Structure 1
Amino acid sequence: MAKKGILLVNLGTPDSPSTADVKRYLNEFLMDPRVIDIGTLSRTILVKGLIVPFRAPKSAKLYQAIWDPKTGSPLLHYSILQQKALEQRLGGEYMVELAMRYQNPSIESALEKLKAALVESIQVIPLFPQYASASTGSVYEKVMDIVGKWPTSPNITFINSFHDNELMIETFADNAQKYNPDTYDHVLFSFHGLPQRQLIKADHTHNHCLKSSGCCETLTDANRFCYSAQSHHTAKLIAEKMGIPREKYTICFQSRLGNDPWVQPYTSEIIAKLANEGKKRLLVFCPAFVADCLETVYEVTTEYGDEFKALGGEHVQLVESLNDSPKFIDALVQMVNPAIA
């Protein structure tokens, strides 16, 4: 009997923390027209002429700081654990493959494995809780570009987003409990940033995005596919699950690149504001990531931690990501087959 194929796709990671491998990764990542959505010539000059030559050596040092001698990249390590655990939970009727949108294992190699196994269907799960053209949309496009060249293909379906998945929300809340949340002065929900122009492009009504200061705070029919609105909704659900009052948490966005306006407020500015208000201890969630990575392990814990202390704060505590939590694996099972879950 033919198996059902599942393809998990995360963003990507260099093959090693060497400057050469980081450069290769950044080139593939930043040359994606969905990531830097400007003309090809301008993007090539910007990425290959300015960003990558200067950023690769610096990023390589950051990757070296989080690279485990045995398991390598934390993002790839936890993604592999998720793939193995999901396949085990689903049972023999399913074949689960893992891919990275950029670098290895590639989407093409994973799809070829599923094709060679003669699976009857392929369900693609981009491992991004909130939908964005630069992440989930890019995975859609890459998968269809590859499969569209096959003479025949099985039935293919996609998970659009899972920003409100109850088991995912519970996992983040469970992970935070060990840190005694009540002992912190303020809670941050720090999501990966996006240029504002990409939010505006995603507004199919052409009359909602960034038209008011609170347009993202409530999920509606008009903004249901908006990355920022989905991020706000995720944060709200986690806060409600934990009983965190609205005045005690802030939703913000990190990892800004370039000078164009990105989704605001910026995490670094919020950290400075809280320090100036006399806050000493911050608890930080990063619910845009299902596996710990450079943006969580280093950017939040080290960079923002150091910034906060330099401004008079005492401690920034990262709530670890979903990683290989059994409850998150149950969430993935639920997406694939609710009957099994």
Structure 2
Amino acid sequence: MCEQLDQISPETAPHKHYVAFRYVSPLTEETVPEVVASGAKRVVLFSQYPQYSCATAGSSINALHQYCQQHPLPPDVRLSVIDRWSTHRGLVRTFAANIRAQLERLPEQVRRQVVLLFSAHSLPLRAVARGDPYPAEVGATVQAVMAELGHSHPYRLVWQSKVGPLPWMEPATDAAIEAMAKRGHKHLMLVPISFVNEHIETLHELDIEYAKDLGEKTGASIYRVPAPNDHPEFIGALADLVRTHLAEGGGVRPQLLMTCPMCTNPACFPAKRWIGETVNRA
């Protein structure tokens, strides 16, 4: 991405990326000192979650705020945020291209029978009830991809990766597969619509637990579309997002600065206020 960004935005080059994870190394508190030590004066917080959720991008911003309360950023560092990009043209085109490629591998008579199951990471219903924007943003991605495909196949949005006893968003991916197979839908294609790369929730949950194990149990043929990964269109989309952001002066979208209507997390409002103040101090 940075190589492409150097080419399409030479006026802001050179560009360098750093990675900060929430739960594995390198953590936020490990990466931020490295960025500061590099002498960087222009820092873009670029969420790799296309669809915003308080549990993902929001949690990452809270973690950054918590760290910076104890270790303030130098006053000459200019900060801005790319917090969501669920309908970016390059993301949509990548998913559509990957779906088409998988469909083209099937015989024509099978291809016509395929139902697309867009599988996204689920959320507890209590988070949805608080007003988390994630379900709507995932739905927006699905609608954009289907429009790009010309609504060529029937489809549904389903939800995976539930943990714990609390009620989560439904229909669950595995339950949907079983129910649809019983109704005679024997050719199902899983699309990991909220994931941009392969990891345990695609390689194990989708490929083994669902495509293999449930496929054998139900007698359905279950195909899986790859995540965007290193697809050239996707890498171009990432570079374009940053180029456009920088060209427009950076900053932060008003949507990020608002908490959920029924927010109960005491960390959210201070973190969002801090982001707004830090970005606008430039």
The reply to whether TM is greater than 0.5 is yes
Shift of 1:184: 4.4
SS at match of 2:86: coil
Partner Cα distance (2:101, 2:162) in 1: 30
Corresponding position of 1:334: 240
Corresponding position of 1:243: 150
| Aligned pairs (5 A) from 1:210-249 | 226-245=133-152, 248-249=154-155
Partner Cα distance (2:138, 2:57) in 1: 14
Corresponding position of 1:150: 72
Q: Are positions 1:109 and 2:18 aligned together?
A: no
Shift of 1:243: 2.0
Q: Are positions 1:200 and 2:129 aligned together?
A: yes
Partner Cα distance (2:113, 2:20) in 1: 37
Q: 1:160 aligns with which of 83, 90, 107?
A: 83
Higher mean displacement: 164-173 or 93-102 = 93-102
Shift of 1:180: 1.9
Shift of 1:291: 0.6
Partner Cα distance (2:164, 2:25) in 1: 27
Amino acid at match of 1:129: P
The number of residues matched between the two structures is 232
Q: 2:200 aligns with which of 272, 294, 315?
A: 294
Asked whether the equivalents of residues 184 and 283 of structure 1 are also in contact (C-alpha less than 8 Å), the reply is no
Corresponding position of 2:185: 279
Partner Cα distance (1:106, 1:159) in 2: 19
SS at match of 2:56: helix
Shift of 1:183: 4.4
Scaled by the length of structure 2, the TM-score of the pair is 0.77
Q: Are positions 1:130 and 2:56 aligned together?
A: no
Residue ranges of structure 2 left out of the alignment (5+ in a row)? 7-12, 105-110, 248-282
Partner Cα distance (2:246, 2:80) in 1: 18
Shift of 1:245: 5.0
Corresponding position of 2:163: 257
Higher mean displacement: 187-196 or 94-103 = 94-103
Q: Are positions 1:307 and 2:177 aligned together?
A: no
Corresponding position of 2:254: none
SS at match of 2:189: strand
Asked whether the equivalents of residues 82 and 245 of structure 2 are also in contact (C-alpha less than 8 Å), the reply is no
Asked whether the equivalents of residues 275 and 308 of structure 1 are also in contact (C-alpha less than 8 Å), the reply is no
Shift of 1:175: 1.2
Partner Cα distance (1:105, 1:339) in 2: 25
Residue ranges of structure 1 left out of the alignment (5+ in a row)? 1-85, 204-224
Percent of aligned pairs sharing the same letter: 26
Corresponding position of 2:119: 190
Corresponding position of 1:87: 2
Partner Cα distance (1:267, 1:118) in 2: 46
Q: Are positions 1:318 and 2:224 aligned together?
A: yes
Alpha-carbon spacing, 1:339–1:133, altered in 2? closer, same or farther (3 Å): closer
Higher relative CO (Cα under 8 Å, sequence separation at least 6) belongs to 2
Shift of 1:339: 8.6
RMSD across aligned positions (CA) = 1.9
Q: Are positions 1:176 and 2:115 aligned together?
A: no
Amino acid at match of 1:104: S
